[in-house]
Structure 1
Amino acid sequence: MPSAYPVAVRAAYAGSTVTPPTDEPRGRPLLLAVDAPSLLHRHHHARASTDLRDRGGRPAWALHGMLLQILETVEGFTPDAVVFGLDDRAASVRREAYPDYKAGRAEKDATLVEQLERAGPLLGALGLRAVTPAGLEADDVSASAAAWAEARGWRCVVVTSDRDAFAHISEHTHVLRLITGGVDGSPLLTPARLHAMYGVHAEHYLEYAALRGDASDNLPGVPGIGEKAAALLMAQVGSMQEVWADLEHCAGATVAAAVDDQCLEEGRRRAGAGLVRKLAADGARARFDFNVGIMAGRADVDLGLTPEVPGSPGLLPVAADRVARAVDYLGVPSTTDLAVRVLAGGGAQRM
């Protein structure tokens, strides 16, 4: 059976000890879930020097860069449907629970803010599905897309540069983590590759992140436990529920022994007792539980996808005249031609 993934994506595995999947069932349709703010931020900074303006004279370089990368991804993966997640910029349930959430980040440039606000209307004009969940973020749309796909027997690929999406990885949901080099140079993360990179199973990534914390969101981790200690703990014990149960019932003896065994195998000093002390310290469990609550993506966002209704928003292909009108306003004829070809029924053939 040929690979379910295009040559451009398989190329991202060159030189890696992990190979891309080749046994994905061809009968499963594919949902592409795109973290739009992530792409807009990247292209705002990368393309600001172009000062590209749309036909109305408004800044458009981030929107144009986002669209080009979307087209590249759609052409490579040939999905059956695409949904875009956007952040609610007016309200945040996470900030209500934790006022210091994402505190310390630099204030967004006014031209970026304008393009963030125009992204939804542009995507909607294209006939694509953009979702701004009340009080939530693009990552909640990604989490909901993964759940939606699993419940309906679809595959899902999340497109983002944000590590938070790693918590959604499963047998049928993979993450294309966009880095410098575009789609061809970005890793497609499967459960196997995530484990190879972090030593953590996909189903435990959220707990690993909660232990480690996330400086970009201003979320401290459990005191004294960084990435290496968190990965060691998760690799040897697995679920944190087992860790907390062991701490409660036998003062962490089983956890300490498992960690020490691994340390000895690797020729390192024993770390079990010290790790247990940190986990048993006042406030450690509360910090972990709080981080899980803040970091966990909501899986119940209504995506508004109706694959049983041909031509409904989010389904591909899209009407060519609609695509042409929406993209033409950006003022780059070559991009209009590309968008019509990729979104309106041309593009690459499935492999």
Structure 2
Amino acid sequence: MPAPDRPRQLLLAVDAPSLLHRHHHARAHSDLRDRNGRPAWALHGMLRQILEAIDMFAPDAVIFGLDDRTSSVREELYPAYKAGRAEKHPALVEQLERAGALLDALGLATLTPPGLEADDVNASAATWAQTHDWDCVLVTSDRDSFAHISDHTRVLRLINGGMAASPLLTPRALHAMYGVSPAQYLEFAALRGDSSDNLPGVTGLGEKTVPVLLREMGSMQAVWADIDHCAGQHLVATLDSWSAEHGERRIGAGLLRRLTADGARERYAFNLSLMSGRTDLDLGLTPDVPGTPGLLPLDPLRVSRVVGHLGVESTTALALRVLTEPPASAAG
């Protein structure tokens, strides 16, 4: 008799800086210190939220992406990248720098890709899961991760209100939010722009018109090909047909004019290059080697010592429960 089907194994990939920033601002009033007297409110908030996620999803492995704080490929290409963000508080900087050591000490996997960001680790985690026939949940507040949603990968989009209020995005949910598929999301974002990264979009294109353009034309590759080969005639006819069908004013000529304005295509291509995450990073995950970093369960004594150093008994108890028991896929 064949063995019953077991669930696919699950990788939880976490944008650690995203959580640390959120919890620094949300918990600074607590002034929580570890047993050495160092600021620990952001570290504790990050760890507590991830423990809740592990309790919710029962992953087989967890990897944390960290930003390279010494160099940035994107800033070298675009010095204004993320310009305008407030300067980081020294206590946040200290906790960002200590996060990797805390997670490594627990036995969880971390990756700080040279010149890159946690977003790139998430992108590579989604690709790794697809390649190895695992499922994946990306935990982040960054919207660029939406491009990696698939039948294997979902995104837990962190918003105010904690885990219970954070939506778990699937291809269907993403389409309901933006009117685009995951494969179209980066094209959508590159046209729209991203104010949080200080990336302006193509002038005159926004969240209402871009989904129509992509849905009716299929992709920006098709849009540019139509513009190059027949001056956008098919684009205009297609969009005007959509307008007539939906009782809307014609938008074809106006969109063509904006897409062919000076610098529009270059702006789109530049945004796309900066927004696209690296999908080929070596995560260092070796699921066939028990006890290697990132694989659950973890050693109870190690968990008790490391989490206990933060000085919050309830969090230590939660960590022992969710980090030291076999994941759901190991049952049966």
| TM-score computed with the length of structure 1 as normaliser | 0.90
Question: How big is the shift at 1:346?
Answer: 6.7
Aligned to 1:314: 294
Aligned to 1:277: 257
Aligned to 2:70: 90
Aligned to 2:172: 192
> Residue type of the partner of 1:109?
H
Question: How big is the shift at 1:181?
Answer: 2.1
1:304-339 residue CA offsets vs partner (Å, 9 max, x unmatched) = 111110010000000000111110110111111110
Matches within 5 A, 1:1-351: 26-345=6-325
Question: How big is the shift at 1:258?
Answer: 1.9
SS in 2 for 1:174: strand
Structure 2 CA distance, aligned partners of 1:106 and 1:181? 23
Structure 1 CA distance, aligned partners of 2:252 and 2:330? 50
Unaligned runs of 5+ in 1: 1-24
> Residue type of the partner of 1:242?
A
> Residue type of the partner of 2:102?
L
**Equivalenced residues, count:** 327
Taking a change above 3 Å as real, the CA distance of residues 348 and 69 of structure 1, as seen in their structure-2 partners, is farther
Question: How big is the shift at 1:101?
Answer: 0.7
> Residue type of the partner of 1:54?
D
Taking a change above 3 Å as real, the CA distance of residues 264 and 63 of structure 1, as seen in their structure-2 partners, is same
Aligned to 1:10: none
Indicate conservation of the 8 Å contact 1:243/1:255, yes or no. Answer: yes
Indicate conservation of the 8 Å contact 1:75/1:347, yes or no. Answer: no
- Root-mean-square deviation over aligned CA pairs: 1.5
Question: How big is the shift at 1:302?
Answer: 1.4
Question: How big is the shift at 1:348?
Answer: 7.7
Structure 2 CA distance, aligned partners of 1:188 and 1:344? 25
Displacement over 4 Å in runs of 4+: 346-351
Q: Which moves more between the two structures, 253-262 or 233-242?
A: 253-262
Question: How big is the shift at 1:350?
Answer: 8.8
Instruction: Among all aligned residue pairs of Structure 1 and Structure 2, give the percentage whose two residues are the same amino acid.
Output: 67
Indicate conservation of the 8 Å contact 1:92/1:135, yes or no. Answer: yes
SS in 2 for 1:106: coil
SS in 1 for 2:163: coil
Structure 2 CA distance, aligned partners of 1:318 and 1:284? 51
Structure 1 CA distance, aligned partners of 2:245 and 2:18? 40
Indicate conservation of the 8 Å contact 2:296/2:327, yes or no. Answer: no
| TM-score computed with the length of structure 2 as normaliser | 0.95
